Amino acid sequence: MSAPAPPAQKLLAAFLTVMLFALVIFGLGAAFDSFGHRGWGYVVGISCCIIMVIAGLAAARRDR
């Protein structure tokens, strides 16, 4: 069993995860804007992030 991560490492991981999700959401918004549907890009981006969070939680529970 490994030692728990220090608080600063957890904070950095959370910050980088939020930045990744922002990149996905706004990147898909910009990509869909080239077709004139920026709002749908945001919806698809947020949906992808929700799916990633659910998959991460499911994997964490399975590993216990």
Closest residue by Cα to residue 44 from 58, 57, 33, 55: 33
* Confidence check: pLDDT of 64 > 90: no
Give per-residue pLDDT as tens, 30-53: 999 999 999 999 999 999 999 999
pLDDT at position 2: 74
Q: What is the pTM of this model?
A: 0.81
pLDDT at position 1: 57
**DSSP structure string for 5-55:** PPHHHHHHHHHHHHHHHHHHHHHHHHHHHTTT-HHHHHHHHHHHHHHHHHH
Chain Cα centroid distance, residue 9: 18
pLDDT at position 63: 80
